[in-house]
Amino acid sequence: QLDFWLAPRGPGHPVDVRVPFPSLQPLKAHLEANGVSYSIMIEDVQALVDHERMEMLRGRRQLPLSTNTFDYATYHSLDEIYAFMDLLVAENPNLVSKIEIGRSTENRPLYVLKFSKGGTNRPAVWIDTGIHSREWVTQASGVWFAKKIVLDHENDRDLASLLDRMDIFLEIVTNPDGFVFTQTQNRMWRKTRSRHSGSACIGVDPNRNWDAGFGGPGASGNPCSETYHGPYANSEPEVKAIVDFVKNHGNIKAFVSIHSYSQLLLYPYGYTSTPVPDQQELHQISKEAVTALSSLYGTNYKYGSIITTIYQASGGTIDWTYNQGIKYSFTFELRDTGRYGFLLPAKQIVPTAQETWLALKVIMLHALDHLH
Amino acid sequence: IPDSGHKYYLQFTTEDYKSGENAGSCLATVLYPKTMSPPVVNIKCVPTKDQKQIQEEDDKLYRKIRHQTKPITGNNIPDSYGNIEPALEPVWALAVAGSSYIMWEKSTESLGYFMAQVKSVKQWIRKDAFLEFDYTVLLHEIPTQEIISCHMRLTWLPGHPLKVKYFCASENHGLEDGSGMESGSASGILHERGANF
């Protein structure tokens, strides 16, 4: 059980040995009984090892050196995610670029990653995560999706053919002010961090602030409420930035906004019970997407329109995008179904992202197949 | 049901909160009267475990908690990253059971809940064999999306029904900048009738 770090060479040469604790006394007794002198170089090896590990982890958190050493199975700070984006772009300049689409209330940049193999204003897919800041598995999944696209863009036939004709836009931290707040002050913060005159309460629900049934039933007019729709549609810069982007781009074919939790795949409408004209098609796509998702780990999802599956909600993102003519508008509610809720253990990040990616591919490929 | 209310017929399966294993199936009817008085519930469940197994597991849980030499205290269970310290798992489990009573009482035909987090827990050591805990639990309210803070006092001994007393804050918001938006109405009533549950 003795671990020689400097092996015996012969008389007159020193020997270094690591001694497991139970052997310490017997070894000392043996050496003394035979007149062999010794000195202790390291009192506690384990303590040193532990310390080094801690230093390494700390070092890693401060400077991820590449997206290959980045830890996808843990939650990261805003700075770490923004640094990740820059690394990804630097490593893949021919595929990935970063666009600033606006600034948040607290003046943080709103970044979108663009994945493109060329062309000009190609038809595109939009994916956003983290619009509700407390839904941490979504931002974490967004980071994973970004890396996944880079890893698979050549060897995955489906993804390669998708990128031959379409671009992908990915906004990972759609609500950075809220995200920072969840890390520093209140883990359960959902809304933006805007102040509007006439109230001491802060924040607007960014998923009630869109111009689709704005202010109707399914949102609150009370600034202190978690579903406060805001003083008017697009009052929130985080929302306005996306609205402007979508309108200026003019060629987005699929729009997916990602939330947690509940394990649902939803399509419009939320603000009215009138079914969308494309209800049948969207329902069929949802069915396929959910089947693909479950195939990986058996995770159970339900699907349907927002209003029939979850509850009435007005001023929602995908109601607006659908009404803009983006037929393939979907919302995900990722894991779990309430046991951990927003506090999903980090070890579920990667499995969640992996299974969700399969569903996303179904949606994106359907859009690809139905380009006019 | 015309002039009476809405009646729901439910068939569902249950799963063990800790392991995710199937724990049994239930049949229930719930009638929400038009008058908004509490719903009338009829329920029958068939558990997968027999009474003896359930009792053994209760005893095991009880011993785990009693085994600790100091009064248990804790904060943020799970933490922001979803971690639960193994030593605090039993206490979290009791919180889930106790909160389910609160949620059962508070929920309506249009309002539902999940237990989001145990904000704090403090054990009170008793002279008798009962376990007693003071909790602050956060409930996630659907569809309002509000996080409701509830103070819960829980006592338990295996073989006895869980006893829960609670008080939930009526409004969480407006306390941001210290200027009260609190409605301040009947917020002072502790729900003494708690549970034999």
* Chain B: closest CA distance from residue A1 (Å): 32
Q: How far apart are the first and last CA of chain A?
A: 72
Average pLDDT, whole number, for chain A?
Answer: 94
Tell me, yes or no, if A190 comes closer than 8 A to chain B by beta carbon: yes
Given an 8 Å threshold on Cβ–Cβ distance, is A201 in contact with B173? yes
* Contacting B residues, span 114-153, partner chain A, CB-CB under 8 Å: 114-117, 138, 140, 142-147
Tell me, yes or no, if B182 comes closer than 8 A to chain A by beta carbon: no
Over range B164-183, report the average pLDDT.
Answer: 56
* Contacting A residues, span 328-347, partner chain B, CB-CB under 8 Å: 338-346
Which candidate, A223, A313, A188, places its Cα nearest to that of B173? Answer: A223
Q: What is the DSSP letter of A128?
A: E
pLDDT at residue A5, rounded to an integer = 80
Nearest CA in chain B to A224: B173
* Contacting A residues, span 167-186, partner chain B, CB-CB under 8 Å: 182-183
Nearest by CB to A226, from B79, B138, B145: name it.
B145
A333 is catalytic: yes
Nearest by CB to A224, from B78, B147, B174: name it.
B174
For chain B, the structural domain boundaries read: 1-49, 52-168
Token output for B74: 């804790």
Fold held by A68-369 = Aminopeptidase (3.40.630)
User: What would the DSSP string read from start to end of A273-294?
Assistant: SSPPTTHHHHHHHHHHHHHHHH
pLDDT tens, position by position, A123-175: 999 999 999 999 999 999 999 999 999 999 999 999 999 999 999 999 999 99
Residue B172 in this model has a pLDDT that exceeds 50? no
Q: How big is the A-B interface in CB pairs under 8 Å?
A: 74
3-state secondary structure of A334: strand
pLDDT at residue B177, rounded to an integer = 30
Token output for A281: 């098609």
* Chain B residues within an 8 Å CB radius of A182: 80
Nearest CA in chain B to A220: B144
In CATH, what class is B52-168?
alpha beta
Over range A185-212, report the average pLDDT.
Answer: 96
* Chain A: closest CA distance from residue B106 (Å): 17
Nearest CA in chain A to B138: A188
pLDDT at residue A18, rounded to an integer = 85
pLDDT at residue A46, rounded to an integer = 79
Pick the residue of A131, A179, A222, A343 with the most B CBs within 10 A to test the interface with B by mutation: A343
Nearest by CB to A311, from B79, B81, B143: name it.
B143
Over range B96-123, report the average pLDDT.
Answer: 96
pLDDT at residue A51, rounded to an integer = 66
* ipTM entry: 0.81
How crowded is residue A90: how many other Cβ atoms within 10 Å of its Cβ? 11
> A135, A236, A238, A333: which one is catalytic?
A333
* Chain B residues within an 8 Å CB radius of A342: 116, 140
pLDDT tens, position by position, A221-261: 999 999 999 999 999 999 999 999 999 999 999 999 999 99
pLDDT at residue A37, rounded to an integer = 87
Residue B142 in this model has a pLDDT that exceeds 60? yes
pLDDT at residue A93, rounded to an integer = 98
Given an 8 Å threshold on Cβ–Cβ distance, is A224 in contact with B173? yes
pLDDT tens, position by position, A23-66: 898 999 999 999 888 888 777 877 777 766 666 565 555 667 89
Given an 8 Å threshold on Cβ–Cβ distance, is B140 in contact with A342? yes
pLDDT tens, position by position, A83-104: 999 999 999 999 999 999 999 9
Q: pLDDT band at residue B191, thresholds of 50, 70 and 90?
A: very low
pLDDT tens, position by position, B110-121: 999 999 999 999
Contact A106, A48 (CB under 8 A): no
Pick the residue of B15, B147, B148, B175 with the most A CBs within 10 A to test the interface with A by mutation: B147
pTM: predicted TM-score of the whole model, two decimal places: 0.83
Range with the poorest average pLDDT among A115-119, A134-138, B168-172, B178-182: B178-182
- In chain A, CATH 3.40.630.10 sits at 68-369
pLDDT at residue A42, rounded to an integer = 78
pLDDT at residue A39, rounded to an integer = 84
Nearest by CB to A200, from B81, B171, B177: name it.
B177
Q: pLDDT band at residue B186, thresholds of 50, 70 and 90?
A: very low
Beta strands in chain A (DSSP E): 3-6, 16-18, 96-103, 109-115, 124-129, 167-171, 252-260, 264-267, 302-305, 328-334
Given an 8 Å threshold on Cβ–Cβ distance, is A205 in contact with B176? no
Range with the poorest average pLDDT among A108-122, A354-368, B98-112, B170-184: B170-184
Contact B100, B48 (CB under 8 A): no
Beta strands in chain B (DSSP E): 5-15, 22-33, 40-47, 73-77, 112-124, 131-142, 147-156, 163-168, 191-196
List all residues 6 or more positions away from B137 whose beta carbon is below 8 Å from its beta carbon. Answer: B95, B98, B99, B102, B115, B116, B117, B118, B119, B149, B150, B152
Q: How far is CA A38 from the centre of its chain?
A: 55
* Chain A residues within an 8 Å CB radius of B82: 340, 343-346, 348
